[in-house]
Amino acid sequence: MNGNAHRLFGAASWVTVSATMGLPGWQTAAGVIPAVAFSAGPTSPDIDNTRTWKRLDRWIPDELLGDGGPLGHRQFLHWIGLPIIGAWVVWHFAAGTPLTWAAYAAIVGWASHIVSDAVYGQGGYGTAQGVPLGPWFWHFVLGFKSDGLAQHLTILPISLGMVWVALGHPGA
Q: Which of 82, 78, 64, 81 is nearest to 127 (CA)?
A: 78
Rounded average pLDDT over 96-115:
96
Would 153 be classed as within a structural domain?
yes
**Full residue range of the structural domain in which residue 156 is found:** 3-59+69-166
Structural domain contains residue 142:
yes
Q: State mean pLDDT over 101-105.
A: 98
pLDDT at 64: 92
- 11: phi then psi, degrees, rounded to nearest 5: -65, -45
The verdict on residue 172 lying in a domain is no
Tens-place pLDDT, residues 6-31: 999 999 999 999 988 999 999 999 99
The tally of domains found in the chain comes to 1
**What integer pLDDT is reported at residue 172 of this predicted model?**
57
Lowest-pLDDT range of 22-31, 89-98, 140-149, 155-164: 140-149
Average pLDDT, the chain: 90
pTM: 0.90
User: Rounded to an integer, what distance in angstroms lies between the CA atom of residue 89 and that of residue 167?
Assistant: 28
Does pLDDT of 80 surpass 90?
A: yes
Q: What is the mean pLDDT of residues 147-153?
A: 76
171 is a domain residue: no
Distances, alpha carbon 88 to alpha carbons 6, 84, 139, in Å: 23, 6, 23
Asked if the model's pLDDT at residue 125 lies above 70, the reply is: no
